[in-house]
Amino acid sequence: MSQKVKLIKAGTDDLQTIWEMQVEAFAGLYKKYHDTETSPAAEKPDKIIWRFNQPETTYYFITADGERVGVIRVIDCRDSKTRKRISPVFIMPEHRNKGYAQQAIAEAERIHGESHWQLDTILQELGNCYLYEKLGYHKTGKTEVINDKMTIVFYEKD
């Protein structure tokens, strides 16, 4: 059984670490899909800083047993009309398949409110799709083809 995760709010001093973790966490998908335009592995550090400075964004470290195992970014406009969004959530390669992402999403929903969420993922990554569907997210029917190997699929949860 995996450790219970905690979400620790990140600060300005953490942005370089978040970027380094993100590049490492998405490196395998980048190598697989070669999506230079959209891959978090290909982003520059200033993109993290730009997102962090958005008033609706909160970055959290996903921790288990005091160790940083991943990151989740929540976009919450704190109004009743706009869906809250998870983008991105990632677990470091050595900590995957331990239930951490599932716990982190559930914890983000507890903190920010259980309903009115959206996220997207790679359609070809069946494990990701399974995870989100298990957590109550459903496909919206919208997809976006990135290249001949990769399609983004959009999910919502009400």
Q: Which of 18, 24, 33 is nearest to 94 (CA)?
A: 24
3 state DSSP class of 35: coil
Q: Is 75 exposed, middle or buried (0-12, 13-18, 19+ CB in 10 A)?
A: middle
3 state DSSP class of 64: strand
Q: What is the pLDDT of residues 87-113, one digit of tens each?
A: 999 999 999 999 999 999 999 999 999
Confidence tier at 80 by pLDDT (50, 70, 90): confident
Task: Please report the domains of the chain, with CATH numbers, ordered by start residue.
Answer: 5-113 (3.40.630.30)
- pLDDT at residue 141, as a whole number: 98
Q: Give the predicted TM-score (pTM) of the model.
A: 0.96
Alpha-carbon distance 19 to 51, whole Å? Answer: 11
Confidence tier at 2 by pLDDT (50, 70, 90): low
